[in-house]
């Protein structure tokens, strides 16, 4: 087997380096403080979901863990609301060990999710996700996309 060098256009290579630098520089990863509430920023785009787990220290959000994944073909056909819920479910599955016995705050730019968690007559997949999330103690806060920048970039 012959290995060939990967040739990316200059702009994409620069963007990849910039993204890597931004995800690892200034807001340095911190170790979790189990006495503070955890904060989860979630976002979904047309083809991917992203989430950031962190905590506030002196009014500044500090990341603990980043996660993202591309959607499969079935998930890419979900409605916008279902994609937003998928991002939250993905985050809670990914960060389960941190969130299971702790209070957490979920930031999302999809305001309808706040009401979906209380709705009892939704589609089957939404009800299943709702049941999965019932073991967690969390509240949902809707934010503008600009304030949810870390998860927004991960979902692109």
How many domains does the chain fold into? 1
By residue range, what is the domain housing residue 81? 31-153
Q: Which residues lie across from 138 on neighbouring strands?
A: 104
**pTM (2 decimals)?**
0.76
Measured distance CA(54)–CA(57) in Å, rounded: 10
111 within domain boundaries: yes
134 within domain boundaries: yes
48 within domain boundaries: yes
Q: What pLDDT sits at residue 115?
A: 76
* Encoded tokens for 19: 């993204």
26 within domain boundaries: no
35 within domain boundaries: yes
Measured distance CA(148)–CA(109) in Å, rounded: 7
76 within domain boundaries: yes
Q: Which of 40, 156, 32 is nearest to 106 (CA)?
A: 40
Mean pLDDT, residues 14-26 taken together: 69
CATH code of residue 73 = 3.10.20.370
Q: How many residues does the chain have?
A: 156
92 within domain boundaries: yes
């Amino acid at each position: 087997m012959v290995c060939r060098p990967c040739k990316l256009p200059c702009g994409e290579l620069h963007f990849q380096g910039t993204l890597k630098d931004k995800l690892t520089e200034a807001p340095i990863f911190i170790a979790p403080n189990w006495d503070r509430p955890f904060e989860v920023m979630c976002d979904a785009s047309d083809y991917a979901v992203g989430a950031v787990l962190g905590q506030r220290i002196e009014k500044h959000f500090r990341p603990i863990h980043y996660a993202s994944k591309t959607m499969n073909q079935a998930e890419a056909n979900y409605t916008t609301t279902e994609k937003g819920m998928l991002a939250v479910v993905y985050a809670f599955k990914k960060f389960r060990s941190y969130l299971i016995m702790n209070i957490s705050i979920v930031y999302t730019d999809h305001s309808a999710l706040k009401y979906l968690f209380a709705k009892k007559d939704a589609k089957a997949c939404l009800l299943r996700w709702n049941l999965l999330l019932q073991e967690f103690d969390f509240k949902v806060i809707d934010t503008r996309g600009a304030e949810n920048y870390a998860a927004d970039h991960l979902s692109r």
